[in-house]
Amino acid sequence: MEPLVAKPHSPDNRALARECNNVKIDRVYIGSCTGGKTEDFMAAAKVFLAGGKTVKVPTFLVPATQKVWMDIYTLEVPGSGGKTCSKIFEEAGCDP
C-alpha cells in the first residue's frame, strides 16, 4: 500500500506521496467517507505496527460509519499480539 496525498481543490486531484518531494505535509487523514472502511484502518494499523514510529504531524482518523468506528476499537489486528487498531493508532500519536 502506497500513501496518497490529497491536493487542492478536488477529491480527484491526488498524487503518490513519493511524487510530492517539495510539499510540506501539515496534517494527515486516514479514512473519509469512501476511504474509511474497516479494512482501510486495519491496513493503516499494520503500517504503523511494522514501522514502530510515531506521527510527526497531526493525524486524524475518519471512519465512514459508526460500525467502522466500533471495529477500530474492538477488532484485533493480526500479528499485533492482541492490539486493536485504536491501541496502535494511540501509541503512534494519532488523533481519534
Residue 78 lies in a domain: yes
Mean pLDDT of 4-31: 85
CATH code assigned at 57: 3.30.499.10
- Cis ω before 9 (30° cut-off from 0): yes
| Residue among 35, 41, 33 at smallest CA distance from 4 | 35
pLDDT (tens digit per residue) in 43-78 = 999 999 998 889 999 999 999 999 999 999 999 999
pLDDT value at position 95? Answer: 86
pLDDT of residue 48: 93
Residue 24 has pLDDT above 80, yes or no: yes
Provide the domain count of the chain: 1
Which is more confident, 96 or 68?
Answer: 68
Quick check: 27 and 20 in contact, CB under 8 A?
A: no
Residue 39 domain flag:
yes
Q: Residue 77 sits in which domain range?
A: 25-92
Give the mean pLDDT of the chain. Answer: 89
